[in-house]
Amino acid sequence: MVENKRAKINDNCIACGSCASACPVDAIKLAESGDHYEVDMAVCIACGSCASACPVDAIKLVEVK
């Protein structure tokens, strides 16, 4: 776990679900709109699995305060 970072999904998300499948702590869920995924920052451990699984490079690890 990276203490000061979390995954963030940008507008390039194509809602394929690869990130959610790769997340070991189930921190990524489909948004209510159904057109993108969202990260629960309180659950995310910043392992980077989702970013590695994303086929469109829509996920970055960002610093949080």
Task: Measure CA 17 to chain center.
Answer: 10
Specify whether the CB–CB gap between 61 and 48 falls below 8 A. Answer: yes
pLDDT at 1 over 80: no
CATH number of domain containing 27: 3.30.70.20
Structure tokens, 47: 């392992």
Q: How many separate domains does the chain show?
A: 1
3-state secondary structure of 27: coil
Please name which of 11, 10, 9 lies closest in space to residue 44, comparing C-alpha atoms. Answer: 9
pTM as predicted: 0.90
C-alpha distance from residue 24 to each of 11, 12, 31, 44, 48 (Å): 23, 22, 19, 9, 10
Question: Where in the sequence is the domain holding 45, given as residue range(s)?
Answer: 5-63
pLDDT at 55: 98
